[in-house]
Amino acid sequence: MRGSNIIYLVLYFFLFLGFQILIFKNLALFNYALCFIYIGFLLLLPFETPALLLLFIAFLLGMTIDIFYDTLGIHAAASVLIAYIRPYIINILTPKGGYDKGTTVSIPSLGFQWMTMYAGVMIFIHHLTLFILELWGVKLFFELIGKSLASGIFTLMVFTLFQYLFLGNKYYK
């Protein structure tokens, strides 16, 4: 990873964190669906990111959100879970020929369909985990699934819009 990539990653880290804390913390769609855009940072990390570093970044990001949301580690747990399963999901979605070295994880380089499938699965797993931990179980199963789906769709739409607005046609190389 080149030095300029690290600078972009640090900027994106603070951009996602800032959006989450300043804008989306108090925003709920129909008082039901929540947007957790901060996980977009984890989704956009390069394919070559070492697993241990990915887990550490996810924990750091989740704990930072937990501090601002005054929660007891549920964002950290959900973030670490998706960081852990990310390589498996990517392997499932990888075409037979694989990816070229240096391919970035973004709509401009991988396409809308691939990115929507990848982000949709990861976002739903994150939200489901988050709401299970928040509700302390699956007592309210249908509310849990409904809230996870609604929040997942909301987050996916904002994440896609974010990529078109901030990444444009080119992503850092």
Sorting pLDDT into bands at 50, 70 and 90, what band is 126? very high
pLDDT at 1: 55
Task: Identify whether 173 is part of a domain.
Answer: no
Beta strands (DSSP E) in 42-116 are none
Residues 62 and 79: beta-carbon distance below 8 Å: yes
- What is the SS3 assignment for 2-61? CHHHHHHHHHHHHHHHHHHHHHHCCCEECCCEECCCCHHHHHHCCCCCCHHHHHHHHHHH
For residue 172, is pLDDT > 60?
no
pLDDT at 7: 86
pLDDT at 168: 61
Sorting pLDDT into bands at 50, 70 and 90, what band is 173? very low
| Owner of token pair 């901030």 | 166
Count of the separate structural domains present in the chain: 1
For residues 56 and 20, what is the distance between their CA atoms, to the nearest angstrom? 19
- DSSP for residue 137: S
Task: Identify whether 27 is part of a domain.
Answer: yes
pTM (2 d.p.): 0.88
Task: Identify whether 172 is part of a domain.
Answer: no
Give 22-77 pLDDT, tens digit per residue: 999 888 888 789 999 999 999 999 888 899 999 999 999 999 999 999 998 999 99
Task: Identify whether 19 is part of a domain.
Answer: yes
Domain that holds residue 25: 3-167
Task: Identify whether 112 is part of a domain.
Answer: yes
The alpha carbon of 165 is separated from its chain's Cα centroid by a whole number of angstroms, namely: 17
For residues 40 and 126, what is the distance between their CA atoms, to the nearest angstrom? 11
pLDDT at 171: 47
How many Cβ atoms sit within 10 Å of the Cβ of residue 38?
25
Distances in Å between the alpha carbon of 76 and those of 5, 46, 67, 103, 149?
25, 20, 10, 27, 20
